[in-house]
Homo-oligomer: A and B are copies of this chain.
Amino acid sequence: MAATATTLKGQPLDRPVLDSMLRRRMFYTPSFEIYGGVAGLYDYGPPGCALLTNIIDTWRKHFILEEDMLEVDCTALTPAEVLKTSGHVEKFADWMCKDPKNGDIIRADHFVEEILEARLKGDKEARGVKVEEKEEDPKKKKKKAKATEAVKLDDAVVQEYEEVLAKIDNYNGEELGQLIKKYELKNPATGAEPSQPVAFNLMFQTAIGPSSHAPGYLRPETAQGQFLNFAKLLEWNQQQMPFASASIGKSFRNEISPRAGIIRVREFLMAEIEHYVDPQGGKKHDRFHEVKDVELILLNRHTQLAGKTNVEKVSIGKAVADGTVDNETLGYFLARIHLFLEKIGIDQSKIRFRQHMANEAAHYAKDCWDAEMQTSYGWIECVGCADRSAYDLTVHAKKTGAPLMVRERLDKPISIEEWQIDLDKKKFGPHFKKDGKTVEAAIEALPQDKREALAQDLQSAGKITVDVEGVGNGTVEISKDLITIERRTRVENTREYTPNVIEPSFGLGRILYALLEHSYWTRASDGGDEARCVLSFPPTIAPTKILLVPLSSHESFKPLLRHMSLKLRGLGISSRIDDSSASIGKRYSRNDELGTPLGITVDFQSVKDKTFTLRDRDSTKQVRADEDKIIAAIKSLTDGTKVWADIEKELPIFEGQETDVAVR
Contact = CB atoms under 8 A, between A and B. Distances in A.
Given A26-B232, A41-B77, A43-B229, A105 B210 contact: yes
Interface string A8-38: 0000000000000000011001011111001
Interface in A384-408: 396, 399-400, 402, 404
11 contacts: A31-B225, A32-B79, A35-B79, A35-B400, A43-B72, A45-B72, A49-B73, A75-B266, A76-B76, A96-B210, A209-B256
A45 B236 contact: yes
Interface string A208-240: 111100101010000001001101110010101
A45 B210 contact: no
A266 B208 contact: yes
Quick one: which of A34, A206, A216, A218 has the most chain B CB within 10 A?
Answer: A34
A206 B208 contact: no
Interface in A39-55: 39-46, 48-50, 52-53
Nearest to A594: B236
Contacts of A53: 60, 71
A550 to B, nearest CB: 14
Copies in the complex: 2
Contacts of A200: 210
Given A34-B231, A35-B228, A209-B254, 19 more contacts: A25-B236, A26-B236, A29-B232, A32-B82, A33-B228, A34-B396, A34-B400, A38-B79, A41-B75, A43-B75, A43-B229, A45-B236, A53-B71, A66-B569, A105-B211, A204-B207, A204-B208, A206-B206, A238-B580
Contacts of A240: 580
B228 A68 contact: no
Contacts of A78: 32
Contacts of A81: 35
Given A229-B45, A580-B238, A31 B206 contact: no
A367 B61 CA distance: 42
Contacts of A206: 204-206, 218
B38 A208 contact: yes
Contacts of A31: 74-75, 225, 228
A125 interface: no
A88 interface: no
A250 interface: yes
Interface string A546-558: 0000000000000
Nearest to A269: B73
Contacts of A229: 29, 43, 45
Nearest to A247: B49
A414 to B, nearest CB: 22
A321 interface: no
A240 B582 CA distance: 14
Contacts of A38: 77, 79, 208-209, 214, 216
A369 interface: no
